[in-house]
Homo-oligomer: A and B are copies of this chain.
């Protein structure tokens, strides 16, 4: 854990702030001034803290936590989710991946499938991709015209505001890697036979549209990072460091809920359990 509160977090996008991703760091050494060995130890400690917080979260059964992950291909969503949340009790955490919409999903408004997956009381839900693809991919790949996707910023801000008003805490995390780092990671998927399954030739097509994706992401961050549902753009070129930053955000978000174990309406000392 660092001492910097979420309200002053250097990688958070504040309302009204514009974002230039080419200037936003993909590596960092200041937030956690530690080396890799020390960093990995630190993550283990933070995993235990997250586990304890989630046990309390589940026991209290009062809050709902939604963590949204977005990234370019190879950005590290899968690895981050595994590394940061691995200690959580599967009974209280659920991962919701959003891939290409099915024909049934496309026959509804784009938030229909999203809304079905939001957390219930005591539940942590992790979105691996999200409703932001309905602006991002739709815009960059020109699936729908601007008249369609340009209305969706407001839809999403309003949707997230409603969820927040009704008791859901939302954290949105973008794993920010450099174009060079993506090249290395894609090449590794080609070079290593046990990573071939992760390679999708379509990723190269998206890579060719890199600057279009960056522009689309910049608009998303500027328009949808609210106090109710902030975006954190995490330097993600170094995996172990990225995990620390994300774990730190999760811990501070959960601590900020002011949780406590539910009050009991019996006196344990008064209860005798029959032989």
| Chain A positions near chain B (C-beta within 8 angstroms) | 64, 104, 107-112, 115-116, 118, 120-122, 148, 151, 154-155, 158-159, 161-163, 165-168
Contacts and interface: CB of A to CB of B under 8 A. Distances in A.
Given A120-B104, A162-B158, A109 B167 contact: yes
A81 B113 CA distance: 28
A113 to B, nearest CB: 10
Contacts of A158: 154-155, 158-159, 162
A165 B108 CA distance: 12
Nearest to A164: B109
Number of copies of this chain in the oligomer?
2
A57 to B, nearest CB: 14
Contacts of A108: 64, 118, 120-121
A109 B119 CA distance: 9
A207 B110 CA distance: 40
Nearest to A115: B115
Contacts of A64: 108
A228 to B, nearest CB: 12
21 contacts: A104-B120, A107-B120, A107-B121, A108-B118, A108-B120, A109-B118, A109-B162, A109-B163, A109-B166, A109-B167, A109-B168, A110-B166, A111-B115, A111-B162, A112-B116, A112-B118, A115-B115, A158-B158, A158-B162, A159-B159, A159-B162
Given A109-B163, A148-B165, 18 more contacts: A104-B120, A107-B121, A109-B162, A109-B166, A110-B166, A111-B115, A111-B166, A112-B115, A112-B116, A112-B118, A151-B162, A151-B165, A155-B161, A155-B162, A155-B165, A158-B158, A158-B159, A158-B162
